[in-house]
Amino acid sequence: MEKLLTRLRNMNPIVWQVGLIVLAILLPLPMGNYHRSVLWRTGLYAMLGLSLNIILGYAGLFQLGHAAFYALGAYTCALLNLHFNVPILLTYPASVLVAALFGYLLTRPILHLRGDYLCIVTIAFGEVVRLVLVNNLFGITGGANGLSSIDRPALFGFVLRAPIYHYYLMLFFLILTIYAVQRLEHSRLGRAWMYVREDEVAAEAMGIDTTRVKLLAFVLGSGWAGLAGALYAGRITVISPDQSKFLESVIMFCIVVLGGTGSIPGVFVGTLGMVTLPELSRPLKAWRDAWLGFVMVIMMILRPEGLLPSRRVAMEIRGEKEEVLPAPATGT
């Protein structure tokens, strides 16, 4: 595994990046509509995972309410489309902005909270969003039924109906997201995030404005989740408050951690594990969720740093596990 990864890393990145893109484009062609839909869903959750990776993986902030922003993006798209007839594709920027705005508003007051407290507040926030949507605030959110009859995205008059077109639309944004996240990872901001994750006090001492850095992580991550929400709305055409439920946030959280915190390939592996595999395990029927839970536990025991973690995180976790002490010098 290590050797393969090293070889891949040493290859010219352009080569295998293009290769992957080509593969992604060709992949759905021989498939039936059901499998194409599964691919679409995988890609969507990968996008969500990448957005959460910014918050959880890079900046190390415990965000267990990420689904709230996903839902907010979806509802923004739906409301703009249903009430103002805004074409779906044009609602995307609005969805991103609204989700990012809420990301800002809601995390600004709680940024000083430490780890587990932050965790519970994000859970609480996810629930608040869900309940507000269910209770049909201002009469616009449609209550528990949600909103429906949302238009499909249309490109120059061509309406995207079949699953394969949605897949390509999603793929386009996914590639954009990967590119953007990668640039962030290797930027000063990205390094600042990881510094804050490793040791916030030291980071502050080094002159990093931790509040600003953490806020940026939340805002960027939340905005991206909003985009995913808009993509969802245009494909399924029905949205409901259930998109903000705790279980959704849990799945996104697991995607990031199981796949490998802080690593882009890790997010994809995590998505395969949490989203695609359960889909394929339908024959298990009523035991599907027990199986998922079982896999989660086993995975963590066997490989707590995730399947494909970033090198830093792996060293951090492995380092703690193997308390290697230098051998005592022989002699007197």
Partner 1 sequence: MYRKLSLLLITLVLTLSLFTGCQKEAGTIKLGLEGPMTGDYAYEGQGFEKAVQLLVDQTNEAGGLLGRQIELVIEDDAGDPTQAALVAQRLVDADVVAVIGAYNSTATEPASEIYNEAGILHVTPSSTATRLTEKGFERFFRVCFLDDRQGLFAATFAKEVLGVQTFGILHDNSTYAQGLAEHTKRYAEEMGVDVAFYDAINPDDTDFTPILTNIGAAGLDAIYFTGYHAQGGLLLKQTGELGLDLNWMMGNASNNPELIQIAGLENAVGTYITTEPLPKDVDYPEARQFVADFEEAYDMSPDSVWWMMAAEAFNVIRYAIEQTESTDSEVLADFLHNEAKDINGITGPILGWDEKGDRLGTIHLAYIIGENGDFIVNPEQP
Partner 2 sequence: MQFLQQMINGITIGAFYSLVALGYTMVYGVLKLINFAHGDLFMWGAYVGLTGLNIILALIAQTSPWAILPSVIVVMVTVALAGVAVERVAYRPLRKAGRLAPVISALGVAFILQSLARNIYGASYKTYPNGVALSGGTTLGGARISVMQVAVLAISFLLMGFLYLFVQRTRIGTAMRAVSLDHDTSRLMGIDVNRIIAIVFLIGPGLGGVAGMIVALYYGSFDFTLGWSFGLKAFIAAIMGGIGNIPGAMMGGMILGIIETLGSGYLSPQWKDVIAYVILILILIFRPTGLLGERVAEKL
- Interface residues with partner 1 (CB under 8 A)? 32-34, 37-38, 41, 131, 134-135, 143-146, 148-149, 161, 163, 232, 235-240, 242, 279, 282, 285-286, 288-289
**Residue 45 binds to partner 2 (criterion: CB under 8 A):** no
**Residue 287 binds to partner 2 (criterion: CB under 8 A):** yes
**Residue 116 binds to partner 2 (criterion: CB under 8 A):** yes
Between 117 and 291, CB nearer to partner 1: 291
Between 45 and 218, CB nearer to partner 1: 45
Rounded to whole angstroms, how far apart are CA atoms 128 and 68? Answer: 9
254 binds, among partner 1, partner 2, none (CB under 5 to 8 A by kind): partner 2
Give the 3-state secondary structure of residue 97.
helix
Whether 76 contacts 150, CB under 8 Å: no
What does the block give as tokens for 51?
């957005």
The residue count for binding partner 2 (CB under 8 A) is 49
Residue 205, number of CB atoms within 10 A of its CB: 9
β 154-155/158-159 pair status:
antiparallel
Whether 171 contacts 163, CB under 8 Å: no
190 binds, among partner 2, partner 1, none (CB under 5 to 8 A by kind): none
Between 94 and 119, CB nearer to partner 2: 119
| Residue selected from 100, 257, 269, 275 as contacting partner 2 according to rule CB under 8 A | 257
Between 98 and 239, CB nearer to partner 1: 239
6 binds, among partner 1, partner 2, none (CB under 5 to 8 A by kind): none
138-177 footprint of partner 2 as x/- string (CB under 8 A): ----------------------------------------
* Of 224, 308, 271, the residue nearest 55 (C-alpha): 224
| Residue selected from 7, 205, 283, 320 as contacting partner 2 according to rule CB under 8 A | 320
Give the 3-state secondary structure of residue 75.
helix
Between 31 and 110, CB nearer to partner 2: 110
**Residue 109 binds to partner 2 (criterion: CB under 8 A):** yes
| Residue selected from 13, 19, 93, 293 as contacting partner 2 according to rule CB under 8 A | 293
Taking CB under 8 A as the binding criterion, the range among 25-33, 43-51, 117-125, 226-234 that sits at the site for partner 2 is 117-125
What does the block give as tokens for 137?
């605030």
Rounded to whole angstroms, how far apart are CA atoms 75 and 247? Answer: 19
* Separation of CA 154 from chain center: 26
Whether 255 contacts 147, CB under 8 Å: no
Residue 147 phi, psi dihedral angles, 5° rounding: -120, 150
Give the 3-state secondary structure of residue 239.
strand
Tell me the CA distances in angstroms from 36 to 26, 30, 42, one per residue in order.
Answer: 11, 9, 10
| Residue selected from 246, 265, 276, 279 as contacting partner 2 according to rule CB under 8 A | 246
**Residue 215 binds to partner 2 (criterion: CB under 8 A):** no
**Residue 297 binds to partner 2 (criterion: CB under 8 A):** yes
* 201 burial type by CB count under 10 A (0-12 exposed, 13-18 middle, 19+ buried): exposed
Give the 3-state secondary structure of residue 92.
helix
Residue 114, number of CB atoms within 10 A of its CB: 9
Chain residues in the site for partner 2 (CB under 8 A): 56, 109-110, 112-117, 119-121, 123-125, 127-128, 131-132, 134-135, 201, 246, 250, 253-254, 257-258, 261, 286-287, 289-290, 292-297, 299-301, 304-305, 316-317, 320-321, 323
